[in-house]
A and B are shown apart, each in its own frame.
Chain A
């Protein structure tokens, strides 16, 4: 238990170091919020005008999906950040220090979580400007944001494994873009899944991103009675499903990431 507390304290030191970078290189935060703002505008106005969701303004329907997509991209920073530290030998230094194996990873994922919180705030404001509203209670809304962040946090650990294994920030960045970008689209993030052709429909319905999006939609009160989710378990019980997905991803990738870190050696 004492070791765990120590790992957390060391993690906080590492997280602080990563956050100083955000402060010193403000371009980063500008760029990481600029693109979600563009996406909000794009979907609210460009596609939004052509897409109709029965019983609800498309912009209200849309926001949960964009939140999910954005925090997921935020989670990929964990991979690029670790790959960069690896390349520069900073991981070697950390590993030669008397700290827990998990401390650097805890620090990294935590600072990326903080980053995601900032991005969510910026996006919420953008959403409110284009007409998105929360129709539920304060606590439910909070739970919605919590769920989005929990899921992103879990994915961060997955990205940590990738970052430590691949070691090149550029490759991690490109690879995650190629993989995660389509994943966030073949889901219920931007449109309903009902009309999708067979295999795509099944994929979209069981895509964890769909569960998280649906859960956030419900918790924000952005659902429409005329547009119920498809009759599959993860979308009918989206909150539970989101938590389960997050826990499963964490259970799988936290040990894997720590193992990878233990063996990680810069070239």
Chain B
């Protein structure tokens, strides 16, 4: 990798354009570092290929044959795949969190912070890398889905829109992940998965909230993940669970509102936390 370093002028005298270019180049440098990590660690590649295969196996086949979703008559895997897309996006919190916690632990963040780069650049680089990772993860999942009988029925424009919604949620999860990664003790990161995984299931990803006890059904319907999954089921033309509550009827709206709200809360929190790291 060759780095060309432009001559840098002091903070105060920088024009807006220069400042912007600075942010962009910092973003790119941090992002490419993360992507190099990803490529150099075979375990990560292995697990990102394993994940969809194992998920489809477990939920599509082991559970799929036992689970009854409200309106029957169609293939459970068509209902399932959008749920898995959404789940992988939310599990991304863990990916971001672990990477951030590791960097903090090893002092990498302190180094970045000691350099004349914008904190926005660092955090944006992190998100760019994560978004790219997630795009690949979803693409792999989609290919696996197509292989087991899932398909989109409403045109390619809708597929892109669904992709956009997923990445929007992932974007929100990045800021949540960065914040948590800066807060959590590094030795506790290993348990993140076992807590995160059930959280993704208290939603409409795998079964209809209507079959759950009422209180849990309500929680599941309001789970931000449910909104995105419900919305993309609609966009793909895959069967939904046919909820008639307000939040179930307005999943497309909520799939935009939730990620924006989460980002609005955790972006400033993450940036502030990053700046005040000791």
B212 with A191: CB separation less than 8 A: no
- Select one of A38, A47, A49 contacting B63, CB under 8 A: A47
Bound form: Cα–Cα A30–B62 in Å: 30
B198 in contact (CB, < 8 A): yes
Question: Contact partner of B194 among A35, A51, A195, CB < 8 A?
Answer: A35
Main secondary structure of the interface of A (DSSP, over half): helix
A137 contacts chain B at the CB level, 8 A cutoff: no
Which of A27, A177, A196 contacts B62, CB < 8 Å?
A196
Q: Would A50 and B62 be within 8 Å (CB), given that A34-B195, A42-B198, A173-B190 are in contact?
A: no
Q: Is B39 an interface residue (CB 8 A)?
A: no
Q: Does A266 contact B (CB under 8 A)?
A: no
Q: Does B75 contact A (CB under 8 A)?
A: no
Q: Contact size class for B?
A: 35 or more
Is A182 part of the contact surface with B, judged by Cβ < 8 Å?
yes
B17 lies within 8 A of chain A by Cβ: no
CB distance from B94 to the nearest CB of A (A): 11
Interface-located stretch among B165-173, B200-208, B262-270: B200-208
Asked if A182 meets B57 with Cβ closer than 8 Å, knowing A46-B202, A49-B207, A191-B63, the reply is yes
Q: Bound complex: CA of A178 vs CA of B46, how far in Å?
A: 10
For chain A residues 174-193, which have a beta carbon within 8 Å of chain B?
174-175, 177-178, 181-182, 185-186, 190-192
Q: How far is the CA of A96 from the CA of B213 in the complex (A)?
A: 58
User: Nearest residue in B to A32 (C-beta to C-beta)?
Assistant: B191
A248 within 8 A of B: no
Tell me whether B257 is interfacial, beta carbon within 8 Å: no
Q: In the complex, A35→B191 CA distance in Å?
A: 8
Which residue on chain B has the smallest CB distance to residue A30? B191
Tell me which residues from 1 to 50 in chain A have a Cβ below 8 Å from any Cβ of chain B. 27, 31-32, 34-35, 38-39, 41-42, 45-47, 49-50
Which one of B28-36, B64-72, B115-123, B247-255 is at the A interface?
B64-72
Q: Are A42 and B201 in contact (CB under 8 A)?
A: yes
Q: Once the chains bind, are A46 and B43 in contact (CB under 8 Å)? A: no
| Pair A31/B206 contact, Cβ less than 8 Å | no
Among B47, B193, B206, contact of A47 (Cβ-Cβ < 8 Å):
B206
Q: Are A200 and B57 in contact (CB under 8 A)?
A: yes
Chain B residues contacting A45 (CB-CB under 8 Å) are 212-213, 216
A217 → chain B closest CB, angstroms = 16
Query: When the two chains form their complex, are residues A35 and B208 in contact, meaning their CB atoms are under 8 A apart?
Result: no
What chain A residues lie within 8 Å of B202 (beta carbons)? Answer: 42, 46
Give the B-binding residues of A (Cβ under 8 A): 27, 31-32, 34-35, 38-39, 41-42, 45-47, 49-52, 73, 80, 169-171, 173-175, 177-178, 181-182, 185-186, 190-192, 195-197, 200, 204
